[in-house]
Structure 1
Amino acid sequence: MKGKRRVADSAAGVWHCSHGHVPGQVLAVGQGDVGQLGLGEEVLERTRAALVRLPAPVVQVEAGGMHTVCLTENGEVYTFGCNDEGGLGRDTTEEGSETTPGRVALPKPTVQVSAGDSHTAALARDGTVFIWGSFRDNSGVIGLLEAWEKSVAPKQLHTTEAIVKISSARLLVPQAVRIKGSGRLKFQDVFCGAYFTFALTSEGRVYCFGLSNYHQLGTQSPVSVFMPQVTAGFQGSAVSWVSFSGGQHHSLCLDSTGQVYSLGRAEYGRLGLGVGAREQVCPAAVPELSRATVVACGASVSYAITSDGCALSWGMGTNMQLGTGEEDDAWSPVQMRGKQLDGHAVLAVSSGGQHTMLLIKDQS
């Protein structure tokens, strides 16, 4: 492994998709020292996106902290990467079996998956959710459904209502999120960062909660938001927001015209605002990114997919997640290139702790 490698926690878990459920092929780029690239025991890193062999076309790919989850068009789930906390949901005692895709035995066909640092979730067609793996803190395993216990195989998450979307965050005991003085609001979407959440109402109001130590939630002061609120950065906004993504300490926002905005911490170029950019309290438009359909964040990296299927990346380059072939940081968006991307349109992107996954299809 490279001596100057910088490791960051994953902000994975949100399905950054522009294509509905169009099947495609999976590409991997970045660090793969625990098999998270799915390219076998011998491949520890890729500077350019490489093809991952799967038994069926894939409609969703999610990069967790050090593992990856793929959903095929027939509703099957495949995983690869680190299985120390049970995040793969399958037996990996055979030498090297964690470094290539293996199927997870689930009782029902899956329609959506999500992944966190060391856990995975699958949403079935009937609205039930299955989860496996673990959460951790500084003291070790926290657990998913049972405190201090990791789940090495899928377990059903029991809820009172059918679930329509999953986005990985700490569960333990699922609870309804209450918004003071607002009654029962209807939300049309929810988006998770590493330590914070965005929720979008059917009227287009943006509610935020969680860590905002670098103003990544649009707060005027660097304080945590413990109850959902419309923060200063989004109050009175004339912009019609459609999508969000969160990294470790920064956020990306997408409006209905295709313009990308960023806010929060600026180091390593993760905001895409050019060399010397400073911390942003309010969403700032990323130059020359006005026709995007998808935004996505890793811990210290950012991505956008344009309407013509091009993928752009910026931020920390050390782990080679940017797919530029270099390890330099990128302070402005650069197009991801490579042999496997030639003649293909990018459908979706998901970034983990040190690796990034792409879903592509033929350009025709």
Structure 2
Amino acid sequence: MALAKRQGRKRPAAAVSEIEPPAPPKSRRSVKPETETNGVVAVATQGVTPGAVLVFGEGVSGQLGLTMDVTEKPLPCAVPNVVDIIDVAAGGMHTVCLTSDHKLITFGCNDEGALGRETNDEEGTEGIPGNVEIPGKIVQISAGDSHTAALLENGSVYVFGTFRDNRGPLGLLNTTMEKKPVLLNAHVKFTRIASGAHHLALLGVDGNIYTAGCGEQGQLGRVSERTSTRDSRHGPVNLLTPMLIRSKAKFVGKFTNVWTGSYNTLAKDKMGNIHVWGLNNYKQLGMEENLIFHPVVALSFSGHDWKKIAGGEHHTLALDNAGDVYALGRKEYGRLGLGDNCEDAPIPKKVDFGPNKKIVDISCGSFTSFALADDGILYSWGMGSSMLGVGGEETDLWTPTQVKGKQLQGKKIVRVESGGQHTVILVNPTA
């Protein structure tokens, strides 16, 4: 069942990468705005007004939450009965919502346990939003290709689903997938989580970064190329156990935030440096090497105070505290937003939204990009598809284009998260 669904997904006829990621890929990680850690769990959703959830894109696996009968929505559409939500995460083919009482609701593909609850294919319950039982107050969520993670107020993390590598399912805590939430075994408490397609990055309250999952593209930042696969000496035991990244001594305990692209990881330290590792075959990390197995400071990010960084398969968006967005990486399909005459961007280049526009949130799909302005207007660009929310046209968008729709009238968008084939937004009434 899982294999059939995965083979049935639409993928663009893209050029073969110099370095192939795990097949089949479908998303990038969900990441959250920056907050100070100061040795305690940072609540990124603190003060967020609860709102409603709207979705657009493909829904062949129920990831739109509109039942299994609705397979596509080219314009934003409200998810029925999903209210009082303070955060959302979009995985490869599933959606995660965090309620105002800090509980989880999930819907979408559950072939590998990414929903964390029992579903019935015959009854179509994958496409109906359902509750997930996790003991504790959840303050942050993240979703990858086939896994989900939830950070609790006490600094512990629950995970469910599976990571994948080039040979298929890799496991989560061991070599089996987890269809119900399980507690991540770690000797440290965490203050932030971020999911790549097949890896998880965690910021400890000690100011260090820990990683687990697939390491074939260097995204773990703690194993060499020789020991990065399941066939290495320690195999999954080493890969699936959260361990400290290999940073230089002067940076130990100095990290304040962590983000993920599909197959890479980026982190910020107290001095404002951006450390990068993982897949860089289109210079999406602003470095020269195609694969970076251990963290390095990317000087191309210097000169800005970065608020949030998001990544797709071969491109990266970076939002600074001035409200400006920069893009780097691969140009195809318009995912950089730099115009149809642009070239690949090996260093961050500013995206134009017109005068007096301040951006407050960003997100990346595999081949798409999104930016949310402080006035609640959402912009999308990249590979033409229904997940851009502009009508489902196949034409690629090379510059930011406003997302509109009747169901957005009287509402202000406050958050955007894009997955492998769909996009999720959180909205509040304007009145």
Cα distance in structure 1, aligned partners of 2:418 and 2:33? 10
Q: Does 1:129 align with 2:157?
A: yes
Cα distance in structure 1, aligned partners of 2:251 and 2:426? 39
* 8 Å CA contact retained: 2:146, 2:161: yes
* 8 Å CA contact retained: 2:63, 2:95: yes
Offset of 1:54 from its aligned partner?
Answer: 3.2
Shift in alpha-carbon separation, 1:60–1:87, aligned structure 2, 3 A: same
Question: Which letter does structure 2 place at the counterpart of 1:336?
Answer: V
TM-score by length of 1: 0.94
Cα distance in structure 1, aligned partners of 2:140 and 2:158? 11
Question: Paired residue for 1:14, among 16, 31, 40?
Answer: 31
Question: Paired residue for 1:108, among 130, 133, 136?
Answer: 136
Q: How does 1:160-199 map to 2 (within 5 A)?
A: 160-169=187-196, 170=199, 171=212, 172-199=240-267
- Please identify which structure carries the higher helix content: 2
* 8 Å CA contact retained: 1:19, 1:347: no
Range that drifts further, 20-29 or 244-253: 20-29
Q: Does 1:224 align with 2:296?
A: no
Q: Deviations over 1:246-273 (max 9, x none)?
A: 1100000111211110000010000000
What's the counterpart of residue 388 of structure 2? 322
Question: Paired residue for 2:314, among 216, 228, 249?
Answer: 249
Cα distance in structure 2, aligned partners of 1:19 and 1:84? 29
Shift in alpha-carbon separation, 1:186–1:33, aligned structure 2, 3 A: same
Question: Which letter does structure 2 place at the counterpart of 1:193?
Answer: G
Cα distance in structure 1, aligned partners of 2:305 and 2:118? 46
Cα distance in structure 1, aligned partners of 2:108 and 2:340? 34
Cα distance in structure 2, aligned partners of 1:35 and 1:214? 32
Structure 1 unaligned segments of length 5 or more: list them.
Answer: none
Shift in alpha-carbon separation, 1:298–1:83, aligned structure 2, 3 A: same
SS at match of 2:333: helix
* 8 Å CA contact retained: 2:51, 2:83: no
Question: Paired residue for 1:88, among 109, 115, 123?
Answer: 115
Q: Does 1:351 align with 2:414?
A: no
Offset of 1:19 from its aligned partner?
Answer: 7.2
Offset of 1:185 from its aligned partner?
Answer: 3.7
* 8 Å CA contact retained: 1:16, 1:349: no
Shift in alpha-carbon separation, 1:343–1:89, aligned structure 2, 3 A: same
Q: Deviations over 1:115-151 (max 9, x none)?
A: 000011111111111100011223221001002x000
SS at match of 1:10: coil
What's the counterpart of residue 100 of structure 2? 73
* 8 Å CA contact retained: 1:15, 1:62: no
What's the counterpart of residue 225 of structure 2? none
Question: Paired residue for 2:278, among 210, 214, 225?
Answer: 210
Cα distance in structure 1, aligned partners of 2:274 and 2:345? 18
Length, aligned pairs only: 358
Root mean square deviation, CA, Å: 2.0
SS at match of 1:321: helix
SS at match of 2:194: coil
What's the counterpart of residue 271 of structure 1? 336
Offset of 1:355 from its aligned partner?
Answer: 0.5
Cα distance in structure 2, aligned partners of 1:183 and 1:77? 35
What's the counterpart of residue 370 of structure 2? 303
Cα distance in structure 2, aligned partners of 1:132 and 1:103? 14
Shift in alpha-carbon separation, 1:112–1:118, aligned structure 2, 3 A: same
Cα distance in structure 2, aligned partners of 1:4 and 1:123? 30
Cα distance in structure 2, aligned partners of 1:106 and 1:343? 34
Offset of 1:159 from its aligned partner?
Answer: 1.5
Shift in alpha-carbon separation, 1:71–1:160, aligned structure 2, 3 A: same
* 8 Å CA contact retained: 1:168, 1:192: yes
Cα distance in structure 2, aligned partners of 1:156 and 1:72? 20
SS at match of 1:200: strand
Range that drifts further, 223-232 or 119-128: 223-232
* 8 Å CA contact retained: 2:194, 2:260: yes
Question: Paired residue for 1:158, among 181, 185, 189?
Answer: 185
Q: How does 1:142-153 map to 2 (within 5 A)?
A: 142-147=170-175, 149-153=176-180
Question: Which letter does structure 2 place at the counterpart of 1:79?
Answer: T
Cα distance in structure 2, aligned partners of 1:208 and 1:115? 20
What's the counterpart of residue 283 of structure 1? 348
Cα distance in structure 2, aligned partners of 1:108 and 1:329? 43
* 8 Å CA contact retained: 2:28, 2:195: no
Offset of 1:327 from its aligned partner?
Answer: 2.7
Q: Identity, % of aligned pairs?
A: 44
Cα distance in structure 2, aligned partners of 1:6 and 1:65? 12
Cα distance in structure 1, aligned partners of 2:272 and 2:299? 15
Cα distance in structure 2, aligned partners of 1:248 and 1:352? 11
SS at match of 1:233: helix
Structure 2 unaligned segments of length 5 or more: list them.
Answer: 1-7, 13-24, 35-43, 200-211, 213-239
Q: Deviations over 1:303-328 (max 9, x none)?
A: 0010111110000123x111000232
Shift in alpha-carbon separation, 1:183–1:19, aligned structure 2, 3 A: closer
Relative contact order, CA 8 A, sep 6+: which one is greater? 1
